[in-house]
Structure 1
Amino acid sequence: MPSLIAQTARIPRLSRFAWLMGLYAENHARLSRLFAPAGLAPGGYRSVVGDGLDLQLDVLEQHRYTTELRLTYALRDPLTGEPDPSAYLRLYHDARQLEATHCYVGRRWQDVIGMYPPPARVVGHRLRMNTFLGKWLEYLAERGHGVATLRPVDGGTASGDGTKDLAASA
């Protein structure tokens, strides 16, 4: 019996942080397969597949090692006028990671976890956001969104000014 206990004690456990890093890697692969955003010029892009939910992909900034993006439907929250749902993403090219830095689904992160949350709450919030992102990217792929359906939008981002949107949501 003691040898049985010793064997089970050697099984490594995955921490929440390690799980989060795994989500970042999976989401990087999903987004890269869908839209190849590292090669897109800054500006707005729309993907239309005929289901009535046009997808908006805004490339806010392109840097050597990162790309800043916003992914949303062409829908607006009736109360705020903001695109909703909306996910702000940071794509790390060298590390092959995609992080949802914040999501706007009716509320800001400060309203969800408070101004000075403990680290465990921050990791939990990031796990939820990036799990949502992974499921959303899978759904988009199933609906037929991808590089072939992506077209540049005249006038830039969904609201016309990505810098304003990013500053307002931070």
Structure 2
Amino acid sequence: MSSIASRTTRIPRLSRFGWLMALYAENHVRLVRLFEPQHLAVGRYVSSVGDGLDVVLDVVEIHAYTVELRLSYAIRDPLTGQPDPSAHLRLYRDAKQVEATHCYVGRRWQDVIGMYPPPAEVVCHRLRMNTFLGKWIQYLAEQGHGVATLVPVPDATTTIAA
């Protein structure tokens, strides 16, 4: 019995931070497979599969190693007039990771967990947001959204709000 107990202690454990980094990498694979946003120009793109829930992908900014994106449905919140649900994303080209920085307009992490949260709470909040993102991207793929359904919206570059 003691040999079994000693074997289980040698199995490496994944920390919550390690789990989060793996989630970022998994979200990168899913998002790149779905829309290939690293190859898009700044602007607004819409994916429609005929279910009445058009997906809007805004390429907000392109930098040398990152791409700033917003993923949402073409649905507006009746109170704020902003897209809802909405996820602001940062695609790291070099690290091959996608991070959801916040998931609702006006609800940045400071609004949700305060200005000086303990590090464990920040990691937990990021885990929740990025788990949501992974499930959402998977759902969009299952509904038929993808590169083939993504079309640019003309003259939409001036209406993108980060």
Q: TM-score, normalised by structure 2?
A: 0.94
Q: Provide the rounded CA distance (Å) in 2 between the counterparts of 1:75 and 1:45.
A: 15
Unaligned runs of 5+ in 1: none
Q: Which residue, out of 161, 165, 168, partners 2:159?
A: 161
1:108-127 mapped onto 2 (5 Å cutoff): 108-127=108-127
1:38 aligned partner, one-letter code: Q
Q: Provide the rounded CA distance (Å) in 2 between the counterparts of 1:53 and 1:106.
A: 23
Q: Provide the rounded CA distance (Å) in 2 between the counterparts of 1:152 and 1:15.
A: 40
30-39 vs 106-115, which moves further? 106-115
2:120 aligned partner, one-letter code: A
Unaligned runs of 5+ in 2: none
1:36 aligned partner, one-letter code: E
Q: Which residue pairs with 2:139 in the alignment?
A: 139
Q: Provide the rounded CA distance (Å) in 1 between the counterparts of 2:76 and 2:120.
A: 32
Q: Which residue pairs with 2:34 in the alignment?
A: 34
1:81-120 mapped onto 2 (5 Å cutoff): 81-104=81-104, 107-120=107-120
1:29, distance to aligned residue in structure 2 (A): 0.4
1:5, distance to aligned residue in structure 2 (A): 1.9
Deviant stretches of 4+, over 3 Å? 105-108
Alignment check: 8 A CA contact 1:76 1:84 kept? yes
Secondary structure of 1:110 counterpart: helix
Alignment check: 8 A CA contact 1:92 1:98 kept? yes
1:78 aligned partner, one-letter code: P
Q: Percent identity?
A: 73
Instruction: Please report the RMSD computed on the Cα atoms of aligned residues, expressed in angstroms.
Output: 1.4
Q: TM-score, normalised by structure 1?
A: 0.90
1:161 aligned partner, one-letter code: T
Secondary structure of 2:68 counterpart: strand
Q: Provide the rounded CA distance (Å) in 1 between the counterparts of 2:136 and 2:62.
A: 23
1:13, distance to aligned residue in structure 2 (A): 0.8
